[in-house]
Amino acid sequence: MNYRQAKRKAANQAIIAFVVMVSGLIASIVSAMKMIYFRLDDGTALSGMLTAPLKNLISYLYYQPWFPEWLWQICPTPNPFAITDPENIKFLVVYAAIFVGAAISAGARKSKVRLAKINEEIENELLRQSLRGESTSNSRASMEENAVIPQQSIFSQVHQLYLAPIVVTIIGALLLKFGFGI
């Protein structure tokens, strides 16, 4: 892959990362709101008192015309009381999209930094050639074409893909356990 292809790929990765991460984040938030509204009130006074303000807020958001109604219908409703519920698996896939998008974004940022350094090196080489009085036999376009840039995988983003989801899930589980007694 040459310089121009790498630059195009980094820009495409940044766009894809934004779309994946934002859609995963919005769907996860809606799923969490649906879980709070439908699943967390077990009928006791304490859970009713804790979830009542949240239910009012969620109900208010549900009836707003600017909030897409189809989003409420397609987002899964996780069940904290039954771990093997199919809705939980759907929620985990949507939740994982946040971290996959973050990993793609980190890879795109890394590529952009690498490409900026390569661009600076190309400019330095052109300046050296002009100072030596050489003709620009190696023009900028030919240098960009001849630069070989190795590809990198999002799976090398260990923190974003593997560690961050586990840490965030454990913190969320502790909040549910001690905050709502689930």
Structure tokens at 87: 């809705």
Q: In whole angstroms, give the CA distance from residue 104 to residue 116.
A: 18
CB 96 within 8 A of CB 168: no
pLDDT in the model for residue 25: 94
Structure tokens at 59: 């109900």
Structure tokens at 96: 């994982």
For the stretch 24-83, pLDDT in tens is 999 999 999 998 888 777 777 887 888 888 888 888 988 888 888 888 899 999 988 888
Listed residue (147, 125, 148) closest to 137, CA to CA: 125
For the stretch 155-174, pLDDT in tens is 666 666 677 778 888 888 88
Q: In whole angstroms, give the CA distance from residue 96 to residue 88.
A: 12
C-beta atoms surrounding 148 within 10 Å: 8
Q: Which residue has the higher pLDDT, 180 or 145?
A: 145
pLDDT in the model for residue 136: 62
Give me the residue spans of the domains in the chain. Answer: 3-180
Q: In whole angstroms, give the CA distance from residue 166 to residue 53.
A: 29
pLDDT beyond 70 at 143:
yes
Indicate yes or no: pTM above 0.85.
Answer: no
pLDDT in the model for residue 126: 84
Q: Sorting pLDDT into bands at 50, 70 and 90, what band is 154?
A: low
CB 162 within 8 A of CB 29: no
pLDDT beyond 90 at 17:
yes
Instruction: List helix spans (H) across 40-132.
Output: 45-62, 69-74, 86-131
pLDDT in the model for residue 129: 82
Q: Sorting pLDDT into bands at 50, 70 and 90, what band is 91?
A: very high
Structure tokens at 106: 């980190």
Q: In whole angstroms, give the CA distance from residue 96 to residue 131.
A: 53
Q: Which residue has the higher pLDDT, 180 or 78?
A: 78
Place of tokens 């960009």: 144
pLDDT in the model for residue 153: 66
pLDDT in the model for residue 155: 62
Q: In whole angstroms, give the CA distance from residue 108 to residue 116.
A: 12
Structure tokens at 61: 């958001």
> Strand, coil or helix: what is 81?
coil
